[in-house]
Chain A
């Protein structure tokens, strides 16, 4: 049972490959929708179960299920954003859907295992698909993005394998468990550090974030959205598992430093960005910094982190749905006067920006509220203060987007993509829902996870 969603997803992904060859991209697309949709249903059927499958290679628990649902939901929404966008910017390949499905499958693997090798395999599936996705747009930036992503991704893979080797050297196995956690040896330390580094790469944490701005900027907008939510969710959930079995207490300082630096770096550098996707990239780095605080929280961390991921995912997807509607005219200059000519788009983008900035009554606020409060409760008060101050910095650039749309004049061009609009509505719904009635998710999180 436990591997049902994964099986469905892989099956449909392969089907999509074949259909794309034989029947054309529409079929590939449909198969992808169907695969992700069916997997989502499968995942929901697992709601509340836990257990190990395939000789412990895969293991299902509450965190995994919630993360799986989120990943599949996000992937589905990312597909919706892509749908319609792709033809407008001249991406004719059906692969875009297949690759997204595959990538989602990789992400799903990452969140349903506690086995390092399996996680590595999942991560690589995800990465390989992502490299290809990054390069799908027909311009040099897209290619540059793909190359940078791939090369740096390889480096991250090396880190992971090295870390895995050290882990194996310490404990003699690939399964994450407590045996190793107690070990005080330098090798355990090194292994922890390397594994964390590798996943921090996926999660865009300083100083492993460098790919993020360039890849976000170069990739097609819906793909960027996909990266920013699916990859990040998978990365953070595995980071969570790593820190559950934290290799060595010293690693906490590493996380702490990465968290603080990400908050500072992401927010500060975002201030000067003129390209909205780059801006969103730095925003993504800074949010990663906030989320990393959740890794410091022992058991309490899981639910706040998952809530944050959910909130972040929806608001980011919503924002990218709007960004995609501008069809790669990503300079902020093209957002001038958007509120006049494309009022609905501006309303949505403004709403998501406000949520990203963390204003009530949106999910972004509550996510920050819970996260910061829990971090404070754990005693990291200076960290919370830094987070609060950097949040203030972030307000500047999020609201700057609003300002450009609403308070300056210009002649923007955009197109209303039906499925994009649908995504905006769905995302906005969830952002509000999680912002006003978070209990729907929280009850479950607290009950199963927390």
Chain B
């Protein structure tokens, strides 16, 4: 089932290769259909997932290349919610492009579908080899999406994005080789690797290699500078998926790989990581505040928000850990929504420079309302999703490190500063004459936003529904990280030969 879900978009993309590029209507409908199908499958997984079992479920395995390089997918609770997020955001991003993308449409939808396969694959991969394959393969569609359909400095941005990301992941690859060598039966299965005894010195180097790859992806300060460029230049769908999903892979990588695989090294670097997270929170917020380009602002806000996620994951407190994971989902939804909305503004005004915007709430009241809700979700207003994550992260961090929590919580002030400032500059004030006759949101656009807004409330008011799904898995992962016990006995149940 998982395999079907993962490869369905890729199959769709291959099919689209043979469809005439002129039949754009069919192409759009078809790709949206595929993507929605994936969403339904993800819902099926979500519903049928057994929350009381912490190890991967729906496991599918196949001998592939051998030497431990096998096909192995499955999903535990943490992967599950991230898969669900991916499966939700993909069709929305896709639908948001129907009018935004005006040229080479076929290629665009092919790339989006390929990207979806890559993203899903990263989250369901259960061995390092497969993980790395999806991790890398995903770069190429993104490279095209930014490079072909991006803004003015698209070439610069897309090259920077790919090179920067690869800079980290290639060193991680070297680390994978090392693990492959170390693993007694060449298995790269995650849960087998967790039980490896890795020499201390090697742990440090390996952790650095993995952490660099993930820190770039997150991105943690000071590895963040690719993000504003990539976010700003990417087309809406690209920004949405970049912010919504791709950045999550960094956090996911940390909690799934870097931390549990090299717990001693992680413990060693923990203070630095905490500092980096906090600096990311505050620095990202400060930088966001002075941006003129709305998308750049949101990009820096991602730096800040992901800092919260990472703080939660690093804090080594279960509540913060849960909050961190939850915050990943929140950030995916709310920043995704922000990009969608700014994209809609851009489609109408053809500018993202906030100096030239303003007063749009008069011609676009519905858009303004959606933007307001999204901004509020992003600043962490209680009752909406963002609060739950931030609250848990800060609360949990406070238990283990009060200073860190206090500093990080400054982020809630700063987030309000830059986001409301953005809202004001886009929506409030007096609108320019030429903007007064802009059309408000179309039904399609509203339908794109509604699921997100519903989720803002749902996740904000009844987080238990979602948290229950990954609570056991999260506890399990965290205990592995804390080396509460060796997991050899468990491995044999879900192990890979």
Direct A–B contact in complex, judged by CB atoms less than 8 Å apart: yes
Residue ranges of A at the interface with B (Cβ–Cβ < 8 Å): 339-340, 354, 359-361, 365-366, 369, 372-373, 376-377, 381, 384-385, 388-389, 391-392, 395-396, 399-400, 402-403, 406-408, 438-439, 442-443
Question: Which of these, B65, B167, B177, contacts A439 with CB under 8 Å?
Answer: B65
In chain B, residues 138-182, which have Cβ atoms closer than 8 Å to a Cβ of chain A? Answer: 139-140, 143-144, 147-148, 154-155, 158-159, 162-163, 166-167, 170-171, 173-174, 177-178, 180-181
A116→B159 CA distance, assembly (Å)? 47
A389→B170 CA distance, assembly (Å)? 7
Q: Which of A339, A340, A369, A442 has the most CB of B within 10 A?
A: A369
Q: Are B163 and A384 in contact (CB under 8 A)?
A: no
15 A–B contacts from the bound complex (CB under 8 Å):
A340-B104, A359-B140, A360-B137, A365-B133, A365-B136, A372-B173, A376-B174, A376-B181, A377-B180, A391-B170, A395-B162, A406-B144, A407-B154, A407-B155, A439-B65
B495 interfacial contact with A, CB 8 Å: no
B451 interfacial contact with A, CB 8 Å: no
Name the residue on B nearest A384 (C-beta).
B174
Q: Are B140 and A396 in contact (CB under 8 A)?
A: no
B465 interfacial contact with A, CB 8 Å: no
Name the residue on B nearest A373 (C-beta).
B177
Question: Which of these, A361, A403, A438, contacts B159 with CB under 8 Å?
Answer: A403
Q: Are B137 and A388 in contact (CB under 8 A)?
A: no
A438→B70 CA distance, assembly (Å)? 12
Mask, B112-140, CB within 8 Å of A = 1, is: 00000000000000000000111011011
B485 interfacial contact with A, CB 8 Å: no
Q: Are A395 and B177 in contact (CB under 8 A)?
A: no
Residues of chain B with a CB closer than 8 A to A385's CB: 171, 174
Q: Are A359 and B65 in contact (CB under 8 A)?
A: no
Q: Are B166 and A377 in contact (CB under 8 A)?
A: no
Shortest Cβ gap from A264 to chain B (Å): 15
Residues of chain B with a CB closer than 8 A to A377's CB: 177, 180-181
Name the residue on B nearest A354 (C-beta).
B140
Residues of chain B with a CB closer than 8 A to A340's CB: 104
Q: Are B162 and A399 in contact (CB under 8 A)?
A: yes
Residues of chain B with a CB closer than 8 A to A384's CB: 174, 177
The 8 closest A-B pairs by CB, nearest first: A360-B133, A388-B170, A376-B177, A373-B177, A407-B147, A377-B181, A360-B137, A360-B136
A385→B171 CA distance, assembly (Å)? 7
Residues of chain A with a CB closer than 8 A to B144's CB: 402, 406
Q: Are B163 and A392 in contact (CB under 8 A)?
A: yes
Residues of chain B with a CB closer than 8 A to A403's CB: 147, 155, 158-159
Question: Which of these, B66, B136, B177, contacts A359 with CB under 8 Å?
Answer: B136
A361→B104 CA distance, assembly (Å)? 24
Name the residue on A nearest B164 (C-beta).
A392
Residues of chain B with a CB closer than 8 A to A373's CB: 177, 180-181
Name the residue on A nearest B173 (C-beta).
A388
A392→B139 CA distance, assembly (Å)? 13
Residue ranges of B at the interface with A (Cβ–Cβ < 8 Å): 64-66, 104, 132-134, 136-137, 139-140, 143-144, 147-148, 154-155, 158-159, 162-163, 166-167, 170-171, 173-174, 177-178, 180-181
Residues of chain A with a CB closer than 8 A to B177's CB: 372-373, 376-377, 384
Shortest Cβ gap from A294 to chain B (Å): 14
Q: Are A399 and B65 in contact (CB under 8 A)?
A: no
A247→B326 CA distance, assembly (Å)? 61
Q: Are A439 and B66 in contact (CB under 8 A)?
A: yes
Question: Which of these, B134, B166, B174, B180, contacts A381 with CB under 8 Å?
Answer: B174
Q: Are B171 and A388 in contact (CB under 8 A)?
A: yes
Q: Are B140 and A442 in contact (CB under 8 A)?
A: no
Residues of chain B with a CB closer than 8 A to A366's CB: 65
Q: Are A392 and B166 in contact (CB under 8 A)?
A: yes
A407→B151 CA distance, assembly (Å)? 11
Shortest Cβ gap from B113 to chain A (Å): 15
Shortest Cβ gap from B152 to chain A (Å): 12
Shortest Cβ gap from B16 to chain A (Å): 13
A185→B66 CA distance, assembly (Å)? 43
Q: Are B139 and A359 in contact (CB under 8 A)?
A: yes
Shortest Cβ gap from B271 to chain A (Å): 26
Name the residue on B nearest A408 (C-beta).
B155
A316→B107 CA distance, assembly (Å)? 24
A438→B155 CA distance, assembly (Å)? 34
Residues of chain A with a CB closer than 8 A to B158's CB: 403, 407
Shortest Cβ gap from B199 to chain A (Å): 13
Residues of chain B with a CB closer than 8 A to A399's CB: 143, 159, 162
Question: Which of these, A361, A396, A442, contacts B163 with CB under 8 Å?
Answer: A396
A408→B148 CA distance, assembly (Å)? 8
Q: Are A395 and B163 in contact (CB under 8 A)?
A: yes
Residues of chain A with a CB closer than 8 A to B173's CB: 369, 372, 388
Beyond A392-B170, A403-B155, list 15 extra A-B contacts (CB 8 Å). A359-B136, A360-B133, A365-B133, A365-B136, A369-B173, A372-B177, A376-B181, A377-B177, A396-B159, A396-B163, A406-B144, A406-B147, A407-B147, A439-B65, A443-B66
A139→B180 CA distance, assembly (Å)? 52
Residues of chain A with a CB closer than 8 A to B64's CB: 439
Residues of chain B with a CB closer than 8 A to A359's CB: 136-137, 139-140
A442→B180 CA distance, assembly (Å)? 18
Shortest Cβ gap from A347 to chain B (Å): 8
A442→B64 CA distance, assembly (Å)? 11
Residues of chain B with a CB closer than 8 A to A400's CB: 159
A408→B155 CA distance, assembly (Å)? 9
A248→B239 CA distance, assembly (Å)? 56
Shortest Cβ gap from A40 to chain B (Å): 26
Name the residue on A nearest B150 (C-beta).
A407
Q: Which of B132, B173, B180 has the most CB of A within 10 A?
A: B173
Shortest Cβ gap from B101 to chain A (Å): 14
Name the residue on B nearest A382 (C-beta).
B174
Name the residue on A nearest B168 (C-beta).
A392
Shortest Cβ gap from A121 to chain B (Å): 39
A340→B158 CA distance, assembly (Å)? 19
Contact of A381 with B137 at beta-carbon distance under 8 Å, contacts A399-B159, A406-B144 already known: no
A400→B156 CA distance, assembly (Å)? 11
A285→B104 CA distance, assembly (Å)? 36
Q: Which of A365, A406, A407, A442 has the most CB of B within 10 A?
A: A407
Shortest Cβ gap from A425 to chain B (Å): 13
